Amino acid sequence: MKLVIPEISWHNRDPVLSAHFQPVAEDGFYRLATGGSDSHVFIWRIKIDGSNVTVEFAADLTKHQKAVNTVRFSPNGQWLATGDDESVIVLWKFKLENGPDQRPDLLEDDESKNLEKWACHSVLRGHLEDVYDLSWSPDSKKLISGGVDNKAIIWDVDNGRYKAILDDHKGFVQGVAWDPLNVYAATLSSDRTLRVFTVKNCKLFNKCDKCVPLGKKRDGEEIKIRLFHDDTLKSFFRRISFSPDGQILVTSSGIMETIDEENKNKCTTNVSYVFARKSFTKPVLYVPSLDQYSVAVQFSPILYELKEETKSVFDLPYRMIYAIATNTSILLMDTQHAAPFAYIGDIHYTRLTDLSWSSDGQLLIVSSSDGFCSIISFTKEELGVIYKDNTQIKPEPMEIVESIVQEDNEIKELPVIITPLQTEQKEEKQIADRSEAPTKKRVQLVTLSSPKNNKYRNK
Protein backbone atom coordinates (compact mmCIF):
# COMPACT_ATOMS: atom_id res chain seq x y z
CA MET A 1 0.00 0.00 0.00
CA LYS A 2 1.31 3.41 -0.95
CA LEU A 3 -0.18 6.84 -0.33
CA VAL A 4 0.50 9.80 -2.61
CA ILE A 5 -0.80 13.36 -2.31
CA PRO A 6 -0.25 14.99 -5.73
CA GLU A 7 0.87 18.58 -5.33
CA ILE A 8 -1.59 20.03 -7.79
CA SER A 9 -4.38 22.56 -7.40
CA TRP A 10 -7.41 20.35 -7.98
CA HIS A 11 -9.98 23.13 -7.74
CA ASN A 12 -7.98 26.34 -7.59
CA ARG A 13 -7.12 25.61 -3.94
CA ASP A 14 -10.81 25.56 -3.01
CA PRO A 15 -12.27 22.58 -1.12
CA VAL A 16 -12.70 19.34 -3.08
CA LEU A 17 -16.15 18.17 -2.05
CA SER A 18 -16.51 14.98 -4.09
CA ALA A 19 -14.54 12.51 -6.19
CA HIS A 20 -15.55 9.43 -8.17
CA PHE A 21 -13.76 6.96 -10.44
CA GLN A 22 -15.48 5.84 -13.62
CA PRO A 23 -16.63 2.23 -13.05
CA VAL A 24 -15.57 1.17 -16.55
CA ALA A 25 -11.81 0.70 -16.98
CA GLU A 26 -9.96 2.53 -19.74
CA ASP A 27 -6.82 1.42 -21.53
CA GLY A 28 -3.80 2.80 -19.70
CA PHE A 29 -5.51 5.17 -17.25
CA TYR A 30 -8.31 5.63 -14.71
CA ARG A 31 -10.87 8.36 -15.40
CA LEU A 32 -11.73 10.44 -12.34
CA ALA A 33 -14.30 13.19 -11.79
CA THR A 34 -14.04 15.76 -8.99
CA GLY A 35 -16.38 18.52 -7.83
CA GLY A 36 -15.42 21.52 -5.72
CA SER A 37 -16.68 24.67 -4.09
CA ASP A 38 -15.37 26.63 -7.09
CA SER A 39 -18.47 25.41 -9.03
CA HIS A 40 -16.35 23.39 -11.47
CA VAL A 41 -16.41 19.70 -12.36
CA PHE A 42 -13.05 18.42 -13.55
CA ILE A 43 -12.25 15.21 -15.38
CA TRP A 44 -8.80 13.72 -14.74
CA ARG A 45 -6.77 10.82 -16.06
CA ILE A 46 -4.87 8.93 -13.37
CA LYS A 47 -1.94 6.83 -14.59
CA ILE A 48 0.09 4.37 -12.53
CA ASP A 49 3.61 3.44 -13.58
CA GLY A 50 5.17 1.25 -10.93
CA SER A 51 5.28 3.40 -7.82
CA ASN A 52 4.68 6.65 -9.73
CA VAL A 53 1.23 8.26 -9.91
CA THR A 54 0.54 10.77 -12.69
CA VAL A 55 -2.51 13.03 -12.76
CA GLU A 56 -3.46 14.57 -16.11
CA PHE A 57 -6.18 17.16 -16.66
CA ALA A 58 -8.77 15.99 -19.23
CA ALA A 59 -11.80 18.33 -19.15
CA ASP A 60 -13.44 21.24 -17.33
CA LEU A 61 -17.24 21.05 -17.12
CA THR A 62 -18.62 24.53 -16.42
CA LYS A 63 -22.41 24.33 -16.20
CA HIS A 64 -22.75 24.84 -12.45
CA GLN A 65 -22.96 28.26 -10.81
CA LYS A 66 -22.38 27.18 -7.20
CA ALA A 67 -20.41 24.61 -5.22
CA VAL A 68 -20.59 21.04 -6.56
CA ASN A 69 -21.27 18.68 -3.65
CA THR A 70 -21.40 15.32 -5.42
CA VAL A 71 -20.19 13.73 -8.66
CA ARG A 72 -21.16 10.20 -9.68
CA PHE A 73 -20.48 8.18 -12.85
CA SER A 74 -23.18 5.76 -13.95
CA PRO A 75 -22.38 2.03 -13.71
CA ASN A 76 -22.06 1.76 -17.50
CA GLY A 77 -19.63 4.68 -17.51
CA GLN A 78 -21.55 6.67 -20.15
CA TRP A 79 -23.11 9.24 -17.83
CA LEU A 80 -21.88 11.61 -15.17
CA ALA A 81 -24.31 13.14 -12.68
CA THR A 82 -23.31 16.19 -10.64
CA GLY A 83 -25.27 18.04 -7.95
CA ASP A 84 -24.68 21.52 -6.54
CA ASP A 85 -25.68 24.16 -3.99
CA GLU A 86 -28.17 25.69 -6.43
CA SER A 87 -30.49 22.63 -6.24
CA VAL A 88 -29.42 21.64 -9.75
CA ILE A 89 -28.43 18.18 -11.02
CA VAL A 90 -26.62 18.08 -14.35
CA LEU A 91 -26.34 14.95 -16.49
CA TRP A 92 -23.25 14.86 -18.66
CA LYS A 93 -22.73 12.56 -21.64
CA PHE A 94 -19.29 11.53 -22.84
CA LYS A 95 -18.57 12.10 -26.53
CA LEU A 96 -16.56 9.34 -28.13
CA GLU A 97 -14.46 11.62 -30.30
CA ASN A 98 -11.39 12.66 -28.34
CA GLY A 99 -8.98 15.49 -28.85
CA PRO A 100 -8.78 19.13 -27.74
CA ASP A 101 -11.95 21.17 -27.54
CA GLN A 102 -12.21 23.08 -30.81
CA ARG A 103 -14.24 26.02 -29.51
CA PRO A 104 -12.15 29.18 -29.98
CA ASP A 105 -11.10 31.09 -26.89
CA LEU A 106 -8.46 33.77 -27.26
CA LEU A 107 -7.87 33.91 -23.51
CA GLU A 108 -7.29 30.16 -23.17
CA ASP A 109 -3.73 28.85 -23.31
CA ASP A 110 -2.82 25.60 -25.02
CA GLU A 111 -2.24 23.66 -21.80
CA SER A 112 -5.80 24.19 -20.52
CA LYS A 113 -7.63 22.77 -23.56
CA ASN A 114 -9.95 19.86 -22.90
CA LEU A 115 -8.67 16.45 -23.97
CA GLU A 116 -12.18 15.01 -23.71
CA LYS A 117 -15.61 16.26 -24.69
CA TRP A 118 -18.46 16.02 -22.23
CA ALA A 119 -21.81 17.46 -23.33
CA CYS A 120 -24.55 18.61 -20.98
CA HIS A 121 -27.38 16.19 -21.78
CA SER A 122 -30.01 17.53 -19.40
CA VAL A 123 -30.58 19.49 -16.20
CA LEU A 124 -32.77 17.95 -13.50
CA ARG A 125 -34.72 20.43 -11.40
CA GLY A 126 -36.86 19.29 -8.49
CA HIS A 127 -34.99 20.06 -5.30
CA LEU A 128 -35.60 23.39 -3.63
CA GLU A 129 -32.18 23.64 -1.99
CA ASP A 130 -28.67 22.16 -2.11
CA VAL A 131 -28.16 18.65 -3.49
CA TYR A 132 -25.80 16.69 -1.21
CA ASP A 133 -25.56 13.18 -2.62
CA LEU A 134 -26.38 11.05 -5.67
CA SER A 135 -26.53 7.35 -6.49
CA TRP A 136 -27.27 5.47 -9.73
CA SER A 137 -29.42 2.43 -10.33
CA PRO A 138 -27.43 -0.62 -11.55
CA ASP A 139 -28.95 -0.35 -15.04
CA SER A 140 -27.90 3.34 -15.32
CA LYS A 141 -31.49 4.33 -16.12
CA LYS A 142 -32.47 5.92 -12.82
CA LEU A 143 -30.90 8.14 -10.20
CA ILE A 144 -31.64 9.03 -6.58
CA SER A 145 -30.66 12.37 -5.05
CA GLY A 146 -30.74 13.77 -1.53
CA GLY A 147 -30.89 17.41 -0.55
CA VAL A 148 -31.18 20.10 2.09
CA ASP A 149 -34.92 20.43 1.39
CA ASN A 150 -35.43 17.20 3.42
CA LYS A 151 -36.28 15.26 0.26
CA ALA A 152 -34.89 12.40 -1.76
CA ILE A 153 -35.94 12.25 -5.40
CA ILE A 154 -35.89 9.28 -7.77
CA TRP A 155 -35.23 10.39 -11.35
CA ASP A 156 -35.83 8.79 -14.73
CA VAL A 157 -32.73 9.61 -16.75
CA ASP A 158 -34.26 8.91 -20.18
CA ASN A 159 -36.97 11.57 -19.97
CA GLY A 160 -35.26 13.84 -17.43
CA ARG A 161 -38.22 13.81 -15.02
CA TYR A 162 -38.65 12.62 -11.48
CA LYS A 163 -40.43 9.35 -10.79
CA ALA A 164 -41.09 10.00 -7.12
CA ILE A 165 -40.38 12.51 -4.36
CA LEU A 166 -39.60 10.84 -1.06
CA ASP A 167 -40.45 13.44 1.58
CA ASP A 168 -40.49 11.22 4.68
CA HIS A 169 -37.40 12.78 6.28
CA LYS A 170 -37.57 15.72 8.67
CA GLY A 171 -33.98 16.85 8.14
CA PHE A 172 -31.30 17.21 5.47
CA VAL A 173 -30.86 14.09 3.33
CA GLN A 174 -27.06 13.81 3.32
CA GLY A 175 -26.49 10.29 2.04
CA VAL A 176 -28.19 8.05 -0.54
CA ALA A 177 -27.43 4.60 -1.98
CA TRP A 178 -29.09 2.44 -4.62
CA ASP A 179 -29.22 -1.30 -4.11
CA PRO A 180 -27.07 -3.20 -6.70
CA LEU A 181 -29.92 -5.74 -6.96
CA ASN A 182 -32.28 -2.92 -7.95
CA VAL A 183 -34.81 -3.60 -5.16
CA TYR A 184 -34.09 -0.93 -2.53
CA ALA A 185 -32.84 2.62 -2.18
CA ALA A 186 -31.50 3.86 1.17
CA THR A 187 -31.32 7.40 2.56
CA LEU A 188 -29.62 8.81 5.66
CA SER A 189 -30.65 12.15 7.12
CA SER A 190 -29.76 14.64 9.82
CA ASP A 191 -33.10 13.74 11.45
CA ARG A 192 -31.12 10.72 12.76
CA THR A 193 -32.94 8.12 10.67
CA LEU A 194 -31.99 5.60 8.01
CA ARG A 195 -34.85 4.89 5.64
CA VAL A 196 -35.06 2.12 3.06
CA PHE A 197 -37.50 2.38 0.15
CA THR A 198 -38.56 -0.12 -2.49
CA VAL A 199 -37.69 1.29 -5.90
CA LYS A 200 -40.51 -0.55 -7.68
CA ASN A 201 -43.28 1.39 -5.98
CA CYS A 202 -41.22 4.06 -4.15
CA LYS A 203 -42.80 3.14 -0.81
CA LEU A 204 -41.13 3.19 2.60
CA PHE A 205 -39.93 -0.32 3.44
CA ASN A 206 -38.13 0.26 6.72
CA LYS A 207 -37.09 3.03 9.08
CA CYS A 208 -34.25 2.64 11.57
CA ASP A 209 -33.48 5.27 14.18
CA LYS A 210 -33.29 3.59 17.62
CA CYS A 211 -32.20 0.35 19.21
CA VAL A 212 -31.68 -1.18 22.65
CA PRO A 213 -28.31 0.02 24.02
CA LEU A 214 -25.45 -2.09 25.26
CA GLY A 215 -25.59 -2.99 28.93
CA LYS A 216 -28.36 -4.11 31.25
CA LYS A 217 -31.67 -2.43 31.78
CA ARG A 218 -33.88 -2.55 34.84
CA ASP A 219 -36.94 -4.76 34.84
CA GLY A 220 -39.84 -3.05 33.15
CA GLU A 221 -37.68 -0.18 31.93
CA GLU A 222 -37.77 0.63 28.24
CA ILE A 223 -34.36 1.94 27.18
CA LYS A 224 -33.61 2.83 23.59
CA ILE A 225 -30.95 5.09 22.18
CA ARG A 226 -30.52 6.94 18.91
CA LEU A 227 -28.24 5.36 16.33
CA PHE A 228 -27.12 8.47 14.46
CA HIS A 229 -25.80 11.95 15.18
CA ASP A 230 -28.22 14.86 15.17
CA ASP A 231 -28.06 18.00 13.02
CA THR A 232 -25.31 19.54 15.14
CA LEU A 233 -22.75 17.21 13.54
CA LYS A 234 -20.12 19.32 11.78
CA SER A 235 -20.36 17.53 8.45
CA PHE A 236 -22.24 18.22 5.26
CA PHE A 237 -22.19 14.58 4.20
CA ARG A 238 -23.35 11.26 5.62
CA ARG A 239 -22.50 9.10 2.64
CA ILE A 240 -23.58 5.44 2.70
CA SER A 241 -22.80 2.43 0.52
CA PHE A 242 -24.21 -0.96 -0.47
CA SER A 243 -21.80 -3.84 -0.99
CA PRO A 244 -21.31 -4.90 -4.64
CA ASP A 245 -23.42 -8.03 -4.07
CA GLY A 246 -26.16 -6.04 -2.33
CA GLN A 247 -26.06 -8.10 0.85
CA ILE A 248 -24.65 -5.40 3.17
CA LEU A 249 -25.32 -1.71 3.74
CA VAL A 250 -22.81 0.41 5.68
CA THR A 251 -23.72 3.83 7.03
CA SER A 252 -21.65 6.72 8.37
CA SER A 253 -22.31 9.26 11.15
CA GLY A 254 -23.35 6.67 13.70
CA ILE A 255 -23.14 7.08 17.46
CA MET A 256 -23.13 4.32 20.07
CA GLU A 257 -24.22 5.01 23.63
CA THR A 258 -23.12 2.62 26.36
CA ILE A 259 -24.14 2.68 30.00
CA ASP A 260 -21.52 2.77 32.74
CA GLU A 261 -22.71 0.27 35.33
CA GLU A 262 -20.93 2.06 38.20
CA ASN A 263 -22.23 5.62 37.88
CA LYS A 264 -25.03 4.93 35.35
CA ASN A 265 -23.67 7.58 33.00
CA LYS A 266 -23.90 7.29 29.25
CA CYS A 267 -20.69 7.10 27.23
CA THR A 268 -20.77 7.84 23.51
CA THR A 269 -18.55 6.51 20.74
CA ASN A 270 -18.54 7.47 17.07
CA VAL A 271 -19.26 4.44 14.89
CA SER A 272 -20.23 3.27 11.43
CA TYR A 273 -23.10 0.78 11.30
CA VAL A 274 -23.32 -2.37 9.19
CA PHE A 275 -26.77 -3.64 8.19
CA ALA A 276 -27.48 -7.03 6.65
CA ARG A 277 -29.93 -7.14 3.75
CA LYS A 278 -32.40 -9.20 5.77
CA SER A 279 -32.27 -6.97 8.85
CA PHE A 280 -32.57 -3.28 8.00
CA THR A 281 -34.45 -2.90 11.30
CA LYS A 282 -31.24 -2.87 13.36
CA PRO A 283 -27.48 -3.01 12.69
CA VAL A 284 -25.67 -6.32 12.93
CA LEU A 285 -22.23 -4.82 13.43
CA TYR A 286 -20.65 -1.52 14.28
CA VAL A 287 -17.17 -0.20 13.60
CA PRO A 288 -15.98 2.28 16.25
CA SER A 289 -13.91 5.30 15.27
CA LEU A 290 -13.63 6.71 18.81
CA ASP A 291 -13.52 10.53 18.77
CA GLN A 292 -13.64 10.75 14.96
CA TYR A 293 -17.12 10.76 13.42
CA SER A 294 -17.44 9.07 10.02
CA VAL A 295 -18.58 11.01 6.96
CA ALA A 296 -18.39 8.57 4.03
CA VAL A 297 -18.31 4.86 3.24
CA GLN A 298 -17.44 3.19 -0.05
CA PHE A 299 -17.16 -0.48 -1.06
CA SER A 300 -14.56 -1.76 -3.48
CA PRO A 301 -16.22 -3.35 -6.55
CA ILE A 302 -13.97 -6.43 -6.33
CA LEU A 303 -14.73 -9.68 -4.49
CA TYR A 304 -11.83 -11.54 -2.88
CA GLU A 305 -11.25 -15.06 -1.66
CA LEU A 306 -11.61 -15.72 2.06
CA LYS A 307 -8.52 -15.93 4.23
CA GLU A 308 -8.23 -19.42 5.64
CA GLU A 309 -6.92 -18.56 9.09
CA THR A 310 -10.01 -16.60 10.19
CA LYS A 311 -13.67 -17.50 10.36
CA SER A 312 -15.79 -14.98 8.50
CA VAL A 313 -18.18 -12.70 10.35
CA PHE A 314 -20.67 -13.10 7.51
CA ASP A 315 -21.45 -16.48 6.00
CA LEU A 316 -20.38 -15.49 2.50
CA PRO A 317 -18.04 -17.44 0.20
CA TYR A 318 -15.94 -14.32 -0.46
CA ARG A 319 -14.57 -11.16 1.16
CA MET A 320 -15.58 -7.63 0.31
CA ILE A 321 -13.50 -4.59 1.21
CA TYR A 322 -14.79 -1.17 2.14
CA ALA A 323 -13.27 2.11 3.26
CA ILE A 324 -14.64 4.40 5.97
CA ALA A 325 -13.67 8.06 5.99
CA THR A 326 -13.83 9.84 9.32
CA ASN A 327 -13.31 13.59 9.51
CA THR A 328 -9.51 13.10 9.54
CA SER A 329 -8.67 9.43 8.86
CA ILE A 330 -9.37 6.32 6.77
CA LEU A 331 -10.30 2.86 8.06
CA LEU A 332 -9.98 -0.13 5.73
CA MET A 333 -12.33 -3.01 6.54
CA ASP A 334 -13.39 -6.32 5.07
CA THR A 335 -16.50 -8.43 5.61
CA GLN A 336 -14.52 -11.34 7.03
CA HIS A 337 -13.30 -9.47 10.12
CA ALA A 338 -14.94 -7.20 12.68
CA ALA A 339 -11.91 -4.92 13.08
CA PRO A 340 -10.03 -2.72 10.56
CA PHE A 341 -7.03 -4.24 8.81
CA ALA A 342 -5.51 -0.81 8.07
CA TYR A 343 -5.64 2.72 9.45
CA ILE A 344 -4.48 5.86 7.65
CA GLY A 345 -4.47 9.09 9.62
CA ASP A 346 -3.32 12.71 9.57
CA ILE A 347 -3.11 12.95 5.79
CA HIS A 348 -5.01 16.24 5.40
CA TYR A 349 -5.23 19.51 7.29
CA THR A 350 -9.04 19.72 7.28
CA ARG A 351 -11.91 17.26 7.18
CA LEU A 352 -12.41 14.62 4.50
CA THR A 353 -15.39 14.76 2.14
CA ASP A 354 -15.58 11.70 -0.13
CA LEU A 355 -14.14 8.31 -1.15
CA SER A 356 -13.98 6.31 -4.36
CA TRP A 357 -12.44 3.02 -5.53
CA SER A 358 -11.16 2.37 -9.03
CA SER A 359 -12.84 -0.31 -11.15
CA ASP A 360 -10.07 -2.86 -10.41
CA GLY A 361 -9.93 -2.07 -6.69
CA GLN A 362 -6.26 -1.04 -6.82
CA LEU A 363 -6.78 2.69 -6.25
CA LEU A 364 -8.65 4.55 -3.53
CA ILE A 365 -8.99 8.31 -3.74
CA VAL A 366 -9.85 10.51 -0.77
CA SER A 367 -10.98 14.12 -1.22
CA SER A 368 -10.62 16.83 1.40
CA SER A 369 -11.84 20.34 2.10
CA ASP A 370 -8.19 21.47 2.26
CA GLY A 371 -8.20 21.46 -1.57
CA PHE A 372 -6.14 18.29 -2.05
CA CYS A 373 -6.81 14.62 -2.75
CA SER A 374 -4.94 11.56 -1.53
CA ILE A 375 -4.45 8.54 -3.78
CA ILE A 376 -3.89 5.19 -2.06
CA SER A 377 -2.58 2.49 -4.38
CA PHE A 378 -2.35 -1.27 -3.87
CA THR A 379 -0.29 -3.80 -5.75
CA LYS A 380 -1.99 -6.72 -7.45
CA GLU A 381 -3.27 -9.26 -4.90
CA GLU A 382 -2.10 -7.09 -2.01
CA LEU A 383 -5.68 -6.97 -0.77
CA GLY A 384 -6.22 -10.63 -1.57
CA VAL A 385 -6.80 -13.11 -4.36
CA ILE A 386 -9.72 -12.16 -6.60
CA TYR A 387 -12.67 -14.50 -6.11
CA LYS A 388 -13.27 -16.38 -9.38
CA ASP A 389 -14.59 -14.07 -12.10
CA ASN A 390 -16.33 -11.13 -10.44
CA THR A 391 -18.48 -10.57 -13.51
CA GLN A 392 -20.10 -14.00 -13.12
CA ILE A 393 -20.99 -13.69 -9.44
CA LYS A 394 -24.72 -13.83 -8.80
CA PRO A 395 -25.74 -12.60 -5.34
CA GLU A 396 -27.49 -15.19 -3.19
CA PRO A 397 -29.42 -14.89 0.08
CA MET A 398 -26.95 -14.56 2.94
CA GLU A 399 -27.05 -16.63 6.10
CA ILE A 400 -26.06 -14.91 9.36
CA VAL A 401 -23.83 -17.21 11.34
CA GLU A 402 -24.55 -16.29 14.94
CA SER A 403 -26.47 -13.81 17.05
CA ILE A 404 -25.68 -12.16 20.32
CA VAL A 405 -27.54 -8.93 19.63
CA GLN A 406 -29.70 -7.88 22.55
CA GLU A 407 -33.43 -8.19 21.93
CA ASP A 408 -35.91 -5.89 23.64
CA ASN A 409 -36.86 -8.49 26.26
CA GLU A 410 -33.37 -9.77 27.03
CA ILE A 411 -30.72 -8.81 29.57
CA LYS A 412 -27.32 -9.76 28.28
CA GLU A 413 -23.74 -8.53 28.47
CA LEU A 414 -22.42 -7.72 25.01
CA PRO A 415 -18.86 -7.29 23.72
CA VAL A 416 -17.63 -4.11 22.09
CA ILE A 417 -18.24 -5.42 18.57
CA ILE A 418 -21.68 -6.77 17.75
CA THR A 419 -21.73 -9.92 15.64
CA PRO A 420 -24.37 -10.39 12.94
CA LEU A 421 -28.02 -10.70 13.82
CA GLN A 422 -29.72 -13.99 13.06
CA THR A 423 -32.70 -13.35 10.82
CA GLU A 424 -35.26 -15.52 9.16
CA GLN A 425 -34.68 -15.95 5.44
CA LYS A 426 -37.66 -14.84 3.37
CA GLU A 427 -38.36 -14.33 -0.29
CA GLU A 428 -37.15 -10.84 -1.17
CA LYS A 429 -39.89 -10.12 -3.68
CA GLN A 430 -42.59 -10.92 -1.14
CA ILE A 431 -40.99 -8.56 1.36
CA ALA A 432 -40.73 -5.75 -1.19
CA ASP A 433 -44.31 -6.16 -2.44
CA ARG A 434 -45.64 -6.21 1.09
CA SER A 435 -44.43 -2.63 1.59
CA GLU A 436 -47.44 -1.34 -0.36
CA ALA A 437 -49.85 -2.27 2.46
CA PRO A 438 -49.74 -0.89 6.02
CA THR A 439 -48.06 -3.18 8.51
CA LYS A 440 -47.97 -3.37 12.25
CA LYS A 441 -44.32 -2.29 12.20
CA ARG A 442 -45.13 0.85 10.26
CA VAL A 443 -47.86 1.85 12.72
CA GLN A 444 -45.29 1.72 15.49
CA LEU A 445 -42.80 4.02 13.80
CA VAL A 446 -41.82 7.07 15.84
CA THR A 447 -42.28 10.49 14.22
CA LEU A 448 -39.34 12.73 14.98
CA SER A 449 -39.57 16.46 15.58
CA SER A 450 -38.03 18.71 12.96
CA PRO A 451 -34.44 19.79 13.57
CA LYS A 452 -33.63 23.43 14.01
CA ASN A 453 -33.95 25.28 10.74
CA ASN A 454 -30.58 26.95 11.07
CA LYS A 455 -28.40 27.97 8.19
CA TYR A 456 -25.63 25.49 7.67
CA ARG A 457 -22.02 26.46 7.98
CA ASN A 458 -19.88 27.69 5.12
CA LYS A 459 -17.89 25.06 3.33
Reported as a single tens digit per residue, the pLDDT across 22-70 is 998 888 899 999 999 999 999 999 998 877 889 999 999 999 999 999 9
pLDDT of residue 104 exceeding 70, the answer is no
Lowest mean pLDDT of 108-117, 183-192, 332-341, name the range.
Answer: 108-117
In-domain check, residue 145: yes
**pLDDT band at residue 177 under the 50/70/90 scheme:** very high
- Residue 290 belongs to what domain range? 19-101+115-391+398-443
Coil, strand or helix: which one is 134? strand
Q: Residue 214 has what pLDDT?
A: 56
In-domain check, residue 109: no
In-domain check, residue 228: yes
pLDDT, average across residues 275-285: 91
Q: Residue 401 has what pLDDT?
A: 39
Write b or e for each residue in 290-308: b if 16 or more Cβ atoms lie within 10 A of its Cβ, otherwise e: eebbbbbbbbbbbbbebee
Q: Residue 309 has what pLDDT?
A: 79
Report the C-alpha gap between 315 and 303 in whole angstroms. 14
Q: Which residue has the higher pLDDT, 434 or 280?
A: 280
Supply angle C-alpha 275, 278, 282, rounded to 5.
Answer: 45
In-domain check, residue 384: yes
pLDDT, average across residues 216-231: 73
In-domain check, residue 195: yes
Reported as a single tens digit per residue, the pLDDT across 119-160 is 999 999 999 999 999 999 999 999 999 999 999 999 999 999
Report the C-alpha gap between 9 and 112 in whole angstroms. 13
Q: Residue 404 has what pLDDT?
A: 29
pLDDT of residue 223 exceeding 80, the answer is no
Reported as a single tens digit per residue, the pLDDT across 282-317 is 899 999 998 899 999 999 999 999 998 788 899 899
Which positions ≥6 away from 178 have C-beta within 8 Å?
Answer: 135, 136, 137, 138, 142, 144, 184, 185, 199, 242
Reported as a single tens digit per residue, the pLDDT across 338-358 is 999 999 998 999 999 999 999
Q: Residue 420 has what pLDDT?
A: 37
With beta carbons less than 8 A apart as the criterion, state whether 452 and 174 touch: no
The amino acid occupying position 181 is L
In-domain check, residue 413: yes
Work out the mean pLDDT of the chain and round it to a whole number. Answer: 82
Q: Residue 291 has what pLDDT?
A: 84
Report the C-alpha gap between 43 and 91 in whole angstroms. 14
With beta carbons less than 8 A apart as the criterion, state whether 276 and 401 touch: no
**What does residue 186 show for φ and ψ, rounded to 5 degrees?**
-115, 145
Q: Which residue has the higher pLDDT, 217 or 345?
A: 345
Q: Which residue has the higher pLDDT, 73 or 256?
A: 73
pLDDT, average across residues 424-449: 39
**pLDDT band at residue 422 under the 50/70/90 scheme:** very low
pLDDT of residue 441 exceeding 60, the answer is no
Q: Is 23 left (phi over 0), alpha (psi -120 to 50) or beta?
A: alpha
**pLDDT band at residue 266 under the 50/70/90 scheme:** confident
Q: Residue 427 has what pLDDT?
A: 41
In-domain check, residue 211: yes
**pLDDT band at residue 220 under the 50/70/90 scheme:** low
Q: Residue 213 has what pLDDT?
A: 64
**Domains held by the chain: number:** 1
Q: Residue 451 has what pLDDT?
A: 39
CATH number of domain containing 80: 2.130.10.10
pLDDT, average across residues 196-218: 83
Lowest mean pLDDT of 73-82, 183-192, 229-238, name the range.
Answer: 229-238
In-domain check, residue 212: yes
pLDDT, average across residues 429-445: 40
Q: Residue 126 has what pLDDT?
A: 94
Q: Determine what percent of the chain is predicted with pLDDT higher than 90.
A: 64
